[in-house]
Amino acid sequence: MKEQCPEDQRPQDVDRQGRQRPRIFPNLVIEIGFCVALLLSQIMSEFFISGFNVLIPSVSQSLNIPAASTGWPSSAFALTAGSSLLLFGQLADKYGGFVVFTSGLTWHLVWTLIAGFSQNEIMLNFCRALQGFGPAAILSAGIMLLGSIYPPGPRKNIVFSIYGGCAPIGFSAGILVSGIADQLLTWRWYFWIGAILILITLVAALIFIPTPIRTQRPNPTLKIDYLGATLFISSLILIFFAVNDCGHAPNGWRTPYIPVTLVIGCILLAGAIYTEYRLTSASSDTDDSQNATPTPILPLTLFRVPHLPALLIALFLFYGTFGIWLLYTVTYMQNILHISPLMVVVWYLPFALGGIVLSFVGGTILHIVPGTILLILSGIGWVMAPLLFAILPKEGVSYWAYIFPAMICGTVGVDITYNITNVFLTTTLPEKQQGLAAAVANSVLFLGVSFFVGWGDFVAEMVEGQREGYKAAFWLGVACAGIALTILFGWVKIEAAKGEEGKDETEEGGG
């Protein structure tokens, strides 16, 4: 349970509490083991976003996947993960982080293992889509566990910074393993090695998550909003299907099924928003234990948190830039620069190492430097990462002049953004909404990646020539990052993450 600070507690006591090991851990070994399990889960969640892009040529040849369909195995994972995070966040708030976390790891393990045995395109797409539900549960429950155990302060900042630093490590590890598997083994070993690593994570979680956490139920009277979850998931799948498939449809946007699925998706999304409005109004009138109506899966009171709506829009654009950058840097290196999979791994090393450095540095400055300043710094990184690829010369590309700084900018963008968002949300929202905080933080990541990868693909297809098409996608990423950076300058203000609670605004109406 989160150690709440009495109102009459002195500031120095609050600060000391934010630096000490939480009392739920009997010793440092258990705390380290717990953190290792959570860090590995973060790495393995991001592992399957990046690495598959390296395997697309080999997988397409092995399973006879046409060029127009290669985007689906890549985007299906992010789409199902992003669209179901809110549901798993609510399940974690009701049933506890341990149950959802270990169940998510088990599900992730099973479908990752099966994916390695895929015999055709349909089976692979099916496995990738079902695989995505695992990280949705893992990330929702994982951040909830961290946020509920660690009170605001330097120790929480360090843990969350290391946790956020595992995102670029996971991305790079995915590229590393896929490159080795593709060149030395077979693409199937990418999934099987991943399954082994997930199994190790599951065993660590079962050993080191403290017993009190296993029975913790933050909000046992919460009633799950299955209608809202169904509407959100189905609407997002339809909308994203239209966006991702329009670039390869026979007549683009004029192909009948594209506007039809888009319109139906928008109608369902409007229905989801209306449902959340009604449930939010109903839940604000009565106590959870006395309320017969479900608790909204996305309470609209969340958007009353100062600066949060603008921050979420900026994050959606930033992560969209990241999705474009991640996909097209790999394809540009392989298809235009003709770099081998293993050399792609080497070129990505600064991205991984930078994440490790930033994770430790960030933990020491998050409670000193205002979050807005750090977000603007990350925003500059977001702009520069795709820009450096967009201006690559046709001949004589210098790794140190273009690729290396792009990798550094990429890790600055994703690492700082992820850390600031997680600390801000888990500190701002009450303990009973820690699952919601985790779901929101990761939903914008996965949905931003999946949505803008589709737009990047559409833009690339509209431009003549493979190289110029890739560059057009990079310019789209620059534009998205530029708009997001403008939003940060004008509408977002986040203070330094000090050892104090700031949850009053959402406590009353948060549902």
Domains of the chain: 25-507 (1.20.1250.20)
Tell me the C-alpha distance between 268 and 256, whole Å: 19
Tell me the C-alpha distance between 159 and 213, whole Å: 18
Cα distance between the two ends of the chain: 19
Q: What is the identity of the amino acid at 179? A: G
Looking up tokens 């050399």 gives 343
pLDDT of residue 60: 82
Spatial CA neighbour of 175 closest among 440, 438, 410, 439: 410
Predicted TM-score (pTM) of the model is 0.80
Phi first, then psi, for residue 463 (nearest 5°) are -100, 135
Question: Which regions in the chain score pLDDT beneath 50?
Answer: 1-7, 14, 500-511
pLDDT of residue 219: 65
pLDDT of residue 509: 39
Instruction: Provide the 8-state DSSP code for 294.
Output: P
Tell me the C-alpha distance between 102 and 115, whole Å: 20
For 332, the token pair is: 């540009």
Residue 110 CB: number of other CB atoms within 10 A?
Answer: 16
Q: In 215-368, which residue ranges form alpha helices assigned H by DSSP?
A: 226-245, 257-285, 308-335, 341-347, 349-365
The DSSP-derived string for 242-255 is HHHHTTTSTTGGGS
Tell me the C-alpha distance between 40 and 396, whole Å: 39
Taking only the tens place, the pLDDT of each residue in 435-466 is: 677 677 778 888 888 888 878 888 887 888 88
pLDDT of residue 104: 93
Spatial CA neighbour of 47 closest among 146, 145, 161, 179: 179
Phi first, then psi, for residue 152 (nearest 5°) are -55, 140
Angle between helix 434-462 and 404-428 (nearest 10): 150
Spatial CA neighbour of 432 closest among 301, 332, 344: 301
pLDDT of residue 380: 93
> Within its chain, how far is the Cα of 71 from the centroid?
19
pLDDT of residue 221: 73
pLDDT of residue 68: 62
Instruction: Provide the 8-state DSSP code for 25.
Output: S
What torsion do the CA atoms of 157, 160, 165, 168 make, to the nearest 10 degrees? -140
Give yes or no for a contact between 372 and 460, defined as CB atoms under 8 angstroms apart: no
Give yes or no for a contact between 369 and 442, defined as CB atoms under 8 angstroms apart: no
Spatial CA neighbour of 132 closest among 237, 212, 207, 224: 237
Looking up tokens 């989801």 gives 272
pLDDT of residue 432: 67
pLDDT of residue 289: 52
pLDDT of residue 3: 45
Spatial CA neighbour of 131 closest among 184, 75, 177, 183: 75
pLDDT of residue 511: 37
pLDDT of residue 5: 46
Instruction: Provide the 8-state DSSP code for 397.
Output: -
Could you give the 3-state DSSP secondary structure of residue 21?
A: coil
pLDDT of residue 367: 66
